[in-house]
């Protein structure tokens, strides 16, 4: 066996000072020499009487690399694993070079222990995979607040793509629902290194709102300096909408009770006035008085009509509930609405699921619901050109009819009010503000619900849903 420690001895054992593992192999993979680090870390002690092979310090599955590569390579960068003295395995990376000495070839391995680096890399990889694939929308901002990373869930919920967001300030999602003071409070909190938690209303690219529970935590470097911020959202839009609907349905119930009471109290005196007017009309000879009485009569009729609607809302229906084909109802309502002269510049489109099961309802009342919703859609176009589409569909629990218009839309602050009685934005004579209230009452009485989404200046979408099993 050749004596190879001369490779080192010329300069003394300089290689013993290196933190790297240095090994010299011959062409039979025998370790001819090893530096101090190799001895300390791997327990390689070179004794000519007990030759050691490189395979002795390689885990099983790494051995082939040496068998296959070394004999044919003069130099290469190598990444492999060594088995330590205590049996544990370390990751190493480094270079392999060939040395010629006369006819003999030697291989020099200079390898560095990168186990810790690899572990960190893996941790980081795992961490970034979790962040990337989680269903929670996540954004990472730099210290000055511009976004440097957003995950796919964030893109999905905001409607913006990665490229539209990176480099931008997160206030691109600002719904303007929170005051400047609110946001400066948030900033003050996180700049001081603290974690901020709160509920916020954001705005999607299309202008619609989404609600999230947001946790913003500062990212600090080893010196404790803030280098960025991690914003993790939990989308609670669904929950907020359900809460709002519940509040609305409770409010409607109490308004309904109040309205029924008023209608009852006002109804009796009104009937009395109406009969008195008729009596005087019949007996009076005075033309002037007769004419004025006629006016009183028509005003009383108007009040009576409103009162009747109030009563209708709060009293259980006396009409007969029967299996109702909702598509037929929708078409009937559309026919009635299309007769109006305001509709000449409006394109109507229908996309009805012809496999819809029937619902249990009073057909005349449901027609009224869709007439009200369609008339509102027509009004929202304000004699401008536009379109109204009606779409019906089903899922496991419900049948839904969606009426979409490209009209003037509804401010988000008014969205809750439109279902209240007498809320109207129309001039007197154009609307009483009872249409949606009555419709809501009818749909509720058959176990259904009505909800609305709207973007001002773009249009509104009313969704009427009925339970599949009827009432």
Ligand X SMILES: Nc1ncnc2c1ncn2[C@@H]1O[C@H](COP(=O)(O)OP(=O)(O)OP(=O)(O)O)[C@@H](O)[C@H]1O
Instruction: Give me the least distance between CB of 468 and Mg ion, in Å please.
Output: 28
**Positions 8 through 67 that interact with ligand X (CB under 6 A):** none
| Nearer to Mg ion among residue 359 and residue 378 (C-beta) | 378
| Nearer to ligand X among residue 54 and residue 438 (C-beta) | 438
Q: Give the Å distances, CA to CA, from 169 to 140, 159, 252.
A: 11, 16, 41
Q: Which residue is nearest to ligand X (CB)?
A: 435
| Nearer to ligand X among residue 55 and residue 423 (C-beta) | 423
Interface with ligand X includes 312 (CB under 6 A)? no
| Nearer to Mg ion among residue 356 and residue 438 (C-beta) | 438
Interface with ligand X includes 431 (CB under 6 A)? yes
Q: What whole-number distance in Å separates Cα of residue 15 and Cα of residue 46?
A: 15
Tell me, what DSSP letter sits at residue 47? B
Query: In this structure, are residues 220 and 227 in contact, taking their beta carbons and an 8 Å threshold?
Result: yes
Q: With contacts defined by CB under 6 A, how many residues of the chain interact with ligand X? A: 22
Instruction: Give me the least distance between CB of 409 and ligand X, in Å please.
Output: 6
Q: Are strands 386-394 and 346-351 parallel, antiparallel or unpaired?
A: parallel
Interface with ligand X includes 435 (CB under 6 A)? yes
DSSP 267-301: HHHHHHHHHHHHHHHHH---HHHHHHHHHHHHHHH
| Nearer to ligand X among residue 385 and residue 426 (C-beta) | 426
**Which residue in 207, 267, 433, 470 binds ligand X (CB under 6 A)?**
433
| Nearer to ligand X among residue 232 and residue 418 (C-beta) | 418
Instruction: Give me the least distance between CB of 372 and Mg ion, in Å please.
Output: 5
* Alpha carbon 391 to chain centroid, angstroms: 24
Interface with ligand X includes 453 (CB under 6 A)? no
| Nearer to ligand X among residue 147 and residue 374 (C-beta) | 374
Interface with ligand X includes 160 (CB under 6 A)? no
The option from Mg ion, ligand X, none interacting with 405 (CB < 5 to 8 A, set by class) reads ligand X
Helix/strand/coil for 5: coil
The option from Mg ion, ligand X, none interacting with 159 (CB < 5 to 8 A, set by class) reads none
Query: In this structure, are residues 55 and 62 in contact, taking their beta carbons and an 8 Å threshold?
Result: no
* Sign of the torsion formed by the C-alpha atoms of 411, 412, 414 and 415: positive
Instruction: Give me the least distance between CB of 450 and ligand X, in Å please.
Output: 11
CB 44: neighbour CB atoms within 10 A?
21
CB 148: neighbour CB atoms within 10 A?
13
| Nearer to ligand X among residue 170 and residue 441 (C-beta) | 441
Helix/strand/coil for 191: helix
**Which residue in 432, 441, 443, 448 binds ligand X (CB under 6 A)?**
432
Instruction: Give me the least distance between CB of 148 and ligand X, in Å please.
Output: 40
Instruction: Give me the least distance between CB of 274 and ligand X, in Å please.
Output: 22
Each residue 364-383 as x (binds ligand X by CB under 6 A) or -, in order, gives --------x---xx--x---
The option from Mg ion, ligand X, none interacting with 15 (CB < 5 to 8 A, set by class) reads none
In sequence order, the β-bridge partners of residue 392 are: 401
**Positions 315 through 374 that interact with ligand X (CB under 6 A):** 372
First to last CA, the chain: 96
Stretch that binds ligand X, among 231-239, 330-338, 351-359, 429-437 (CB under 6 A): 429-437
Instruction: Give me the least distance between CB of 402 and ligand X, in Å please.
Output: 12
DSSP 320-377: PPEEE-HHHHHHHHHHHHHTSGGGTTEEEEEE--TTPPPEEE-HHHHHHHHHHHHHHH
Nearest to 425 by CA among 407, 405, 399, 400: 407
| Nearer to ligand X among residue 120 and residue 426 (C-beta) | 426
Interface with ligand X includes 145 (CB under 6 A)? no
**Positions 387 through 426 that interact with ligand X (CB under 6 A):** 405, 407-410, 418, 423-426
Nearest to 101 by CA among 33, 12, 20, 22: 33
Interface with ligand X includes 437 (CB under 6 A)? yes
Instruction: Give me the least distance between CB of 340 and ligand X, in Å please.
Output: 13
The option from Mg ion, ligand X, none interacting with 327 (CB < 5 to 8 A, set by class) reads none
Query: In this structure, are residues 42 and 82 in contact, taking their beta carbons and an 8 Å threshold?
Result: yes
Instruction: Give me the least distance between CB of 362 and ligand X, in Å please.
Output: 20
Per CB under 5 A, residues contacting Mg ion are 376, 435
Instruction: Give me the least distance between CB of 172 and ligand X, in Å please.
Output: 27
Q: What whole-number distance in Å separates Cα of residue 275 and Cα of residue 291?
A: 16
Alpha helices, DSSP H, located in 351-469: 363-381, 435-445
Q: What whole-number distance in Å separates Cα of residue 252 and Cα of residue 239?
A: 20
Nearest to 42 by CA among 21, 24, 13: 21
What are the residues binding ligand X (CB under 6 A)? 372, 376-377, 380, 405, 407-410, 418, 423-426, 431-437, 460
């Amino acid at each position: 066996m050749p004596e190879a420690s001369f490779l080192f001895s010329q300069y003394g054992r300089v290689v013993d000072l290196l933190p790297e593992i240095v090994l010299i192999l011959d062409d039979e993979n025998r370790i001819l020499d090893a530096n101090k680090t190799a001895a300390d870390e791997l327990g390689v002690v070179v004794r000519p009487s007990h030759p050691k092979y490189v395979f002795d310090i390689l885990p099983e599955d790494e051995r082939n690399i040496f068998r296959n590569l070394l004999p044919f390579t003069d130099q290469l960068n190598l990444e492999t694993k060594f088995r330590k003295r205590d049996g544990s395995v370390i990751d190493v990376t480094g270079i392999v070079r060939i040395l010629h000495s006369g006819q003999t070839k030697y291989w020099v391995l200079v390898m560095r222990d990168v186990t810790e680096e690899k572990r960190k890399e893996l941790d980081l990889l795992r961490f970034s995979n979790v962040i990337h694939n989680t269903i929670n929308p996540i954004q990472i901002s730099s210290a000055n607040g511009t976004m440097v990373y957003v995950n796919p869930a964030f893109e999905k919920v905001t409607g913006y793509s990665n490229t539209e967001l990176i480099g931008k300030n997160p206030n691109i999602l600002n719904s303007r629902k929170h005051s400047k003071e609110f946001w400066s409070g948030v900033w003050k909190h996180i700049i001081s290194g603290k974690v901020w938690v709160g509920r916020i209303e954001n705005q999607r690219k299309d202008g619609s709102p989404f609600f999230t529970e947001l946790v913003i935590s500062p990212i600090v470097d080893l010196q404790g300096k803030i280098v960025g911020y991690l914003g993790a959202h939990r989308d609670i839009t669904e929950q907020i909408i359900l809460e709002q609907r519940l509040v609305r349905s409770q409010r409607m119930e109490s308004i309904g009770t109040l309205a029924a009471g008023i209608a009852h109290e006002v109804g009796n005196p009104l009937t009395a006035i109406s009969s008195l007017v008729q009596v005087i009309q019949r007996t009076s000879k005075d033309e002037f008085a007769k004419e004025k009485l006629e006016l009183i009569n028509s005003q009383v009729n108007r009040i009576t009509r409103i009162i009747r609607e109030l009563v209708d809302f709060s009293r259980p229906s006396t009409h007969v509930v029967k299996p109702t084909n909702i598509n037929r109802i929708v078409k009937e309502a559309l026919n009635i609405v299309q007769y109006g002269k305001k509709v000449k510049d409006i394109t109507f489109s229908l996309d009805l699921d012809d496999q819809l099961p029937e619902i249990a309802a009073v057909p005349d009342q449901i027609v009224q619901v869709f007439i009200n919703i369609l008339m509102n859609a027509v009004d929202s176009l304000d004699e401008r050109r536009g379109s109204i589409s009606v779409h019906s569909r089903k899922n496991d629990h419900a049948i839904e009819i969606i009426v979409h218009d490209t009209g003037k839309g509804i401010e988000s602050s008014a969205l809750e009010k439109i279902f209240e009685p007498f809320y109207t934005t129309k001039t007197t004579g154009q609307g009483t503000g009872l249409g949606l209230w009555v419709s809501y009452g009818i749909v509720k009485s058959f176990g259904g619900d009505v909800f609305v989404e709207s973007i001002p200046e773009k249009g509104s979408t009313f969704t009427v849903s009925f339970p599949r099993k009827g009432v």
